[in-house]
Structure formats: structure tokens, C-alpha cells
Amino acid sequence: MIEVVDLHRWFGSVHAVRGVGFAIPAGQVVGLLGPNGAGKTTTLRMLTGIIKPQKGSIQIAGVDAIAHPAQSRRGFGYLPESAPSYPEMSVTGFLRYRAQILHVPRPSRKTQIARVIEECQLGSVAKRRIGQLSKGYRQRVALAATLLHDPKVLILDEPTNGLDPTQIREARSLIGDLAQNRTVLVSSHILPEIERTCERVIIIGAGKVLADGTPKELCEQNTKGGCIVECKGHLAQISFTLKHALPESDLETTPLEGGWWRIKIQAPEMSDACEAVGEAFGSARIQIRQLRPTVAGLEDVFVRVLEASEGAEA
């Protein structure tokens, strides 16, 4: 449903987007992650036709978005980070106004407005002025406006920005419901929300795609050289054995009941720290009741990918 190939965009001498490319099939929910200044918003603005790329191609729902921007816009709904609304208008009045702008056929406008009010759970506030609503409900109104022409692709820029924890959970649930029959691209810098909402993550840094995969795949790919062991014995012997087996390791030790210890080991230079620990403790006759690799979280992946990119640029 979305196919992006080798996008480039300059602003004067600044090369803001440098060869971004990805493909999103129908029905997939994808998170676009990156720090401030990474090129996320510029990429979304090119996808939605607000600005043109100076190189590359964009296909949305089978339409060339660069050659036919007006036709392309009919295939997607776009929720910008600061979605415009009119606080003096009622929810229904605003949706009626947006339906007219989107050229929703007059005979079907009432039906489409009723549909998006139901989809976005706005029935209880449909007659209220937008300015009287909480930010969470105002965000729902903005999202409803993007759905009036029933697009099969949704592009959401920071949809939970500024919401409180309860509103974030509600927004996450709503996005999940909307994604059941749509392709969704969500841009955000809030990693936990991307991890909970999206089945795939694209990490952008310095205008380039640095990583692309499911959260599980990315975490497994970046889990190297770490393990957690629960063992029993004298701490001095345990520490000596670990430092001998893994000389470049960092140890985080926690005492447990019954003379047991939980030790978190970080050894970035080791491809399989668990195997090394098991062999060393076996030779030293140190009792083990648990030994498992540490699994990186999405935040760890994000930091490592960006650090690796910065190191390569240096």
C-alpha cells in the first residue's frame, strides 16, 4: 500500500533525507521512529504531498504520489502533529465542514459523518463545541476528520503527543481498532507506544533508514554479549571466575535469599556470554539455577542503532 524508494530532500545545504526507502503492505501497522531532526516529519510531508522530494519515488495505494498528488490524497488520511480545528465549531459541524473540503459526495456525507463518529467513539460529545473538549477528545475529532473519505491508508504524526497516560491508552486502543482494515504508518518518538501499537518498526537517523523489522526481531538482533545468571557460592569466587572468563564485562550483582546471587552481565565483545559463563562456572564448581541471555528492549535497540550510525559517520 505504501512504497517509498530512495527519497532525498535538501533544504539549502542541509541534506535532510538521504535515500529513505521502505515498503508497507496492506493491513500492516508500522512505527516510524527517530530522534528530533532525524527526517521523520520531512519524510511524512513528502509522503503526503506537502513538499516534493528532489529525488526518489512514492506509491500510495497504487498511485504515483509525486506525479498525481491529488489522486494520491484520496487514498490516505493524514493526521499532522498539530491538527487544525475550530474551537467554536461543534464536533458534527466541524466534520460536516471537513467532509465538504474532502469532496465527500453530498448524498453520503451524513452517513460518513455518523460512521466516523462511531469509529472514533465521539457520540457523547458530537453536539459539543470542540473548544470545550479535553485534548484526548480533540485528537479523536481530528482523527475522525481524516477518516471521512474512508481511506485505506492512515499516516499519523505523533498521535499521542501531549496526551496524559489515560488518553494515551485510549488513543492506542483506537488506533488498534482502526488498523483492523487499514494500513497505518505512525511516526513517534515515544518508544513504549510504538512497541505496544506497531507490528513493525522503522528507525530513521540522520535522514536514513537505520533499522527495519518487528520489535522482536530488532531486539534479538541487538542482544549480544549479555546474560543473567543466578548462582550460589562465595561472591569473591564468583566475581573472580566471571572476570577471568569475561575480562571486559560489567557486573551488576543482587543478593537473593538462601545464599543465592543474581548477576547481570554485560560483555559487548562476546557473541555468546551465556556459554562462556556456563563453562567457567562448571569448571569452578559454582552452582547455577538459572542462566539466560538478556533481551534488549526497543529503547536499547534505538540507542545502539543511533550510536552505531554516529560512529560510522565519524
For residue 72, give Cα distances in angstroms to 64, 156, 267.
7, 16, 49
Strand-pairing partners, residue 184, are 29, 154
CATH number 3.20.20.100 given to 2-214: no
Strands 260-266 and 226-232: antiparallel
Which secondary-structure segment (H or E) carries 232?
strand 226-232
Q: What are phi and psi of 84, to 5 degrees?
A: -75, 145
Q: Using a pLDDT cut of 90, give the percent of the chain over it.
A: 64
Give the pLDDT band of residue 178 (cuts 50, 70, 90).
confident
DSSP 300: H
Q: What are phi and psi of 265, to 5 degrees?
A: -115, 130
Report the candidate in 46, 78, 49, 74 with the shortest Cα–Cα distance to residue 62: 74
How many residues are there in the chain? Answer: 314
Amino acid code (one letter) for 123: G
Query: Which pLDDT belongs to residue 224?
Result: 64
The CATH fold assigned to 224-294 is Alpha-Beta Plaits (3.30.70)
Strand-pairing partners, residue 261, are 231, 255
- Render pLDDT for 239-267 as a digit per residue (tens, 0 to 9): 999 999 988 888 999 999 999 999 998 87
- List the chain domain ranges: 2-214, 224-294
Cβ(265)–Cβ(250) under 8 Å?
yes
Query: Which pLDDT belongs to residue 161?
Result: 81
pTM over 0.85: no
Residue 133 has pLDDT above 70, yes or no: yes
